[in-house]
A and B are shown apart, each in its own frame.
Chain A
Amino acid sequence: MTAPSQRPQKLVAPDAVGGLIRAWLDDGDLLAIGGLFKQGRPMVLVREVIRSGRNRLKLVSSPGSGFDADLMIAAGCVAETFLPAVTLEDRMCPTFRSAVENGAITAHCVDALSIVGGYLAAANGVTFQPVAAWVGSDVPKHNPLIARIDCPFTGQPLYATQAIRPKLALLHAQEGDVYGNVRHLSTMTYADQMMARAAEKVIVSVDRIVDTETIVARPRETTIPCIYVDAIVEAAYGAHPTGSFPLYSIDEDHIEMYATLAEAARKGEAGADTALRAYLDRHVHHALTQQAYVESVGGAQRMKALEEEAASL
Chain B
Amino acid sequence: MSRYPCSPAEMQAVLLARDLKDGELGAAGASAAIPMAAMMLARLTHAPDLQIAGEMFVNPRPRQLWNSMLDDRALGACEAAETFLELFGHSHRGLDFFFHNGMQIDAFGNINLHHIGGTLHKPKMRGPGAANISYAATSRRFYICTGNHSQRTFVPRADFITSPGYLDGPESYHAAGLAGGPCLCVTPLAAMDFDPATLRMRLKSVHPWSSVDEVVANTGFDLGIGERVEETRLPSENELSLLRTRVDPKGLLRR
The chain A residues found within 8 Å of chain B, CB to CB, are 36-39, 62-64, 83-87, 89-90, 92-93, 96-97, 100-101, 103, 106-107, 109, 111-113, 116-117, 120, 131-139, 142, 186-191, 193-194, 243, 245-246, 249-250, 309-310, 313
Contact = CB atoms under 8 A, between A and B. Distances in A.
A133 B73 contact: no
Interface in B71-108: 71-73, 75-78, 81, 83-85, 87-88, 91-92
Interface string B115-127: 0000011111111
A135 B178 contact: yes
Contacts of B73: 243, 245, 249-250, 309-310, 313
Interface in B41-85: 56-57, 63, 67-68, 70-73, 75-78, 81, 83-85
A136 B120 CA distance: 17
B137 interface: yes
A89 B67 contact: yes
Contact of B129 (A37, A38, A84, A187): A84
B83 A193 contact: yes
A305 to B, nearest CB: 14
A107 B137 contact: no
Interface in B147-196: 160-164, 167, 173, 176-178
A89 B74 CA distance: 13
Given A136-B164, A187-B76, A112 B87 contact: yes
A116 B92 CA distance: 14
Contacts of B75: 187
B131 interface: yes
Interface of B: 30-31, 56-57, 63, 67-68, 70-73, 75-78, 81, 83-85, 87-88, 91-92, 113-114, 120-134, 136-138, 160-164, 167, 173, 176-178
Interface residues of B: mostly helix, strand, loop or mixed?
A: loop
List of 6 A-B pairs having minimum Cβ-Cβ separation, nearest first? A136-B164, A245-B72, A87-B128, A133-B134, A63-B131, A135-B137
B71 A116 contact: no
Contacts of A112: 84, 87, 91, 131-134
Contacts of B70: 36-37, 64, 89
A39 B72 contact: yes
Contact of B133 (A117, A132, A137): A137
B88 A113 contact: yes
B71 A37 contact: yes
Nearest to A85: B131
Contacts of B91: 112-113, 133
B30 A87 contact: yes
A138 B162 CA distance: 6
A250 B66 CA distance: 12
Contact of B137 (A93, A133, A187): A133
A142 B71 contact: no
A187 B128 contact: no
B132 A113 contact: yes
Contacts of A106: 121
Contacts of A103: 121-122
Given A93-B128, A111-B130, A38 B83 contact: no
A250 B71 CA distance: 10
